[in-house]
Amino acid sequence: MILDRLELAEVYFPLNPGFARAFEFLRRKDLAGLPVAKGPVNGDQILDVIKCPCGRKAAEAPLEVHRKYVDIQLVLAGTDRMGWKTLATCRNLRDAYNPVRDVAFYIDTPDVWMDVLPGMMAIFFPDDTHAPMVSDGPIHKIVLKVPII
């Protein structure tokens, strides 16, 4: 798991061949104006534009994990309080892995909670479970899924 500011993204390019294109997209000036949607971008990546009028409570946020993609979550407005726990220590599976949706859910308690503020990004790899969308107020963010290569 990585928590950092978008302007420092270049140091992470060597971690995945798709990161350079992903961060180029995330630096577009028009991100805040993109409509709420989910779909392909840059050929092999998946974009999810999220505008949530009010996040959920931590107790309502199960940990999720992905096998095929790295999640890059960039907060545009609001604060997304995200939980994190390494997959190796999760013991309480809620929903088994769904290969079509590329997700499994756990009801374990996160080891760490972090406030991801506007301009900050959280990067989650397949060994990172994460509980996003926890907030008392509105959240506007972009999630870009980069294939594991």
Q: What is the pLDDT of residues 62-93, one digit of tens each?
A: 999 999 999 999 999 999 999 999 999 999 99
| Average pLDDT for 8-17 | 96
Contact by Cβ (8 Å): 134, 80: yes
**What is 1-25 written as a DSSP string?**
-EEEEGGGGGGGGGG-TTHHHHHHH
CA pair distance 20, 34, nearest whole angstrom: 21
Q: Considering only 37-41, 53-57, 93-97, 140-144, which range has the smallest mean pLDDT?
A: 37-41
CA atoms within 13 A on the CB side of 85: 18
Ordered by where they begin, the domains of the chain are 2-147 (2.60.120.370)
Burial class (CB in 10 A: 0-12, 13-18, 19+), 61: buried
Query: What pTM was estimated for this model as a whole?
Result: 0.94
Q: What is the pLDDT of residues 81-124, one digit of tens each?
A: 999 999 999 999 999 999 999 999 999 999 999 999 999 999 99
Q: How many CB atoms within 10 Å of residue 84?
A: 19
* Structure token digits, residue 14: 């060597």
Long-range contact list for 23-31, CB < 8 A, 24+ apart? 23/72, 25/144, 26/72, 26/74, 26/121, 26/142, 26/144, 31/74, 31/76, 31/142
pLDDT of residue 33: 93
Percent of the chain, pLDDT > 90?
87
CA pair distance 25, 3, nearest whole angstrom: 18
Query: For residues 44 and 137, which has the higher predicted lDDT (pLDDT)?
Result: 137
pLDDT of residue 102: 95
- Name residues whose C-beta falls within 8 Å of residue 93's C-beta, 6 or more positions apart in sequence: 104, 105, 106, 107
Let me know how many helices (H) and strands (E) the chain has, helices first.
1, 12
